[in-house]
Amino acid sequence: MRRWLLRRTAQAVVTLAIALVLIFVLMRLAPGDPLARLSEDRPLPAAQVAALRARFGLDRSIREQFGTFIGGLARGDLGISIEYGRPVTSLMAERLPATLLLGGTVLLLNFTAGVWLGVGQAKRRGGAVDRSLTVLSLAGYAMPSFWLGLVLAWLVGVKWHLLPAAGMEDPLLGPAGRPLARAADIGRHLILPALTLSVVSIAATMRYQRTAMLEVLRLPYIVTARAKGLGERAVTWHHAWRNAFFPVLTLFGLWLPLLVTGSVFVESVFAWPGLGSLAVTAVGYRDYPLLMGTSLLVAVVVVCGSLLTDLAYAVLDPRVRLS
């Protein structure tokens, strides 16, 4: 097991390294000069452009730029944002908590509601509940998250005026407000973006869980469990779900990229001050150090997520753990 862990971690490191190189290559591959873009949007005097070019190392060879890039990474320096003029790392650190809050909430919803609904569907296979939930989940999966967000923002936020449709906090409350009131306020702002992002992901979780559950419920050891005289709840959750959980766990690894992609749109639509909206801003301003920094962080998150998932699988399945 230990050897497997070492090998798997090494594999993750290699994957990350390749992703890193890819990010660098992709950005440099793009036709056009980033600074030319910049001066297109706002006219700059030639001297300043030249200064910027020197500052961001764009006047040096590709190999030198890559060297600076790697060197900077090793020191934890991701460069300076062209638009904000501040280190990329501090900008990302600022925005990270909001994204973690949103992402964490959605994850929680997925692994509670998504799992529970999927299991419920499997138990009532073929019934009205099962079929309607399937249709709903297929529809949810087909929705563009930005559109759903706008629809919800319009309906719930504007038309019915039930929940706030933008931002994370009421600016009037601010950091000076009482912690409990602030928390409640943030909570209210969280509802719509979390709901939007959840709709798409829960749809996928439900389907996977349902399929996995149906497969397990057919297996002979479920009959044994019932023949022992165990109650239905114990059979469903203790015996069946314990085995049907694994495919959903692997889903987490695949699903993290989905969450990241979705949060780009959802944060943008709801003006949620997280990394997703930061990425959108970086795109809008052609701010390549910022965009590169965010992409890097995303790659790290995805690789770590996948590693953690494999680890969890190995720990929870005795057939893997003890081989």
Question: Which residues between 197 and 256 bind another protein (CB under 8 A)?
Answer: 211, 219-221, 223-231, 239, 242-243
* Shortest reach from residue 147's CB to another protein, in Å: 4
Q: Name which of 185, 157, 184, 160 is nearest 172 in CA terms.
A: 185
Stretch that binds another protein, among 80-88, 134-142, 167-175, 187-195 (CB under 8 A): 134-142
Which of 64, 187, 284, 315 contacts another protein by CB under 8 A?
Answer: 284
Phi, psi (rounded to 5 degrees) for 26 = -60, -45
The residue from 6, 26, 100, 166 that contacts another protein (CB under 8 A) is 26
Q: Does 139 bind another protein (CB under 8 A)?
A: yes
- The string of DSSP letters for 145-172 reads HHHHHHHHIIIIIIIS--S--SSSS-TT
Residue listed under structure tokens 């719509």: 192
Cβ pair 194, 106 in contact under 8 A: yes
Binding mask 150-179 for another protein (x = CB under 8 A): xx-xx---x---------------------
Q: Are 169 and 186 in contact (CB under 8 A)?
A: yes
Part in contact with another protein (CB under 8 A); list of ranges 9-17, 51-59, 83-91, 167-175: 9-17
Residue in 17, 62, 162, 166 binding another protein, rule: CB under 8 A: 17
Q: Is 241 helix (H, G, I), strand (E, B) or coil?
A: helix
Q: Does 127 contact another protein by CB under 8 A?
A: no
Rounded Cα–Cα distance for residues 323 and 5 (Å):
13
- The reply to whether 123 sits near another protein by the rule CB under 8 A is no
Look up residue 289 and give its amino acid. P
Which of 46, 128, 142, 176 touches another protein by CB under 8 A?
142
